């Protein structure tokens, strides 16, 4: 990440961006059609990606994973509307604190971009 001359902002921006929706690690036999993978899924030896992050599970994909011997997967955890609202509020507070006492058009544009990113994430 380039140094924009704003001190510790770069670290905080990385933390904001890497903050993700909650992940549930489940047994493949508990997987359901429509769940979304939260992480790339690799072969046991780690040499090949079986499914990419954000893949929506289908019966066919679940069967292929079973045939490959996959036992556990990481899926995005389903949140209630209230939980989503609280998590979004937490993310917005984190963003506002990261940019607190910082000035400049570039800083404001970056802050606004992160706010928009998280609002869109929670509208999905």
Domain ranges for the chain: 23-76, 80-123
Question: pLDDT tens digits for the chain (124 residues)?
Answer: 343 444 444 444 444 444 456 788 999 999 999 999 999 999 888 889 999 999 999 999 999 999 999 999 999 887 788 888 888 898 899 888 888 888 888 888 888 988 888 888 777 6
pLDDT value, residue 61: 97
pLDDT at 18: 47
CATH class of 23-76: alpha beta
Ranges of H-type helices in 1-124: 9-18, 59-67, 81-98, 105-123
What does each C-alpha distance from 72 to 37, 61, 82 come to in angstroms? 11, 14, 28
Tokens 């499914």 found at:
51
The DSSP bridge partners found for residue 49 are 42
């Amino acid at each position: 990440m380039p140094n924009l001359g704003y001190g510790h902002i770069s670290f905080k921006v990385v933390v904001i961006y890497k903050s993700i929706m909650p992940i549930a690690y489940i047994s493949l036999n508990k997987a359901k059609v429509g769940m979304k993978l939260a992480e790339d899924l690799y072969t046991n030896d780690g040499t090949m990606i079986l499914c990419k992050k954000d893949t929506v599970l289908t019966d066919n994909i679940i069967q292929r994973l079973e045939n490959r011997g996959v036992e556990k997967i990481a899926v995005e955890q389903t949140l209630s509307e209230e939980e989503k609202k609280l998590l979004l509020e937490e993310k917005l507070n984190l963003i506002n604190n990261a940019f607190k006492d910082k000035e400049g058009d570039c800083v404001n544009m970056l802050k606004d971009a992160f706010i928009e990113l998280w609002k869109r994430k929670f509208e999905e």
